[in-house]
Amino acid sequence: MTAGFVERLVVGSGAWVVTAPYRQPRSIDALAPWGDFHLKRQGALWTACGVPANDWHVFWTHTFKPEIPEACLECWVVVKPAVSQGIGHE
C-alpha cells in the first residue's frame, strides 16, 4: 500500500490526532491508548495507514512519538512529511 493510496483514503481535516481501538482501563483522568496506536485527522474515518477507525478512541492530548514501540510507523511515514515535530501536546 503506497502512501498516495493511503492519502486518498484519509478524509477529514484539521490536526492529526492519536487514535487507538482501546484505552488503558486504569487511566480515567489522563486517557492513554492501550496497545498499538495510530494517527488520523480529526473527523477522519481511517487512520493514516488505512485502517478503519471511525469508532476508535481519540486521545486529544496524547503525543505521538515514533520511538515508542506501540506507535504505528506506517502512520508516521504518511504523517511525518506534514509535521516538523511531534504531534499532540506535552
C-alpha cell at 78: 504518511
Strands of the sheet containing 38-41, edge to edge, are 38-41, 16-20, 57-59
- Binding track over 39-68 against Zn ion, x by CB under 5 A: --------x-x-------------------
Choices 6-14, 26-34, 60-68, 69-77 (CB under 5 A): range interacting with Zn ion: 69-77
State in Å, rounded, how far the first CA of the chain is from the last one. 32
Q: Closer to Zn ion at the Cβ: 23 or 47?
A: 47
Q: Site residues (CB under 5 A) for Zn ion? A: 38, 47, 49, 72, 74-75
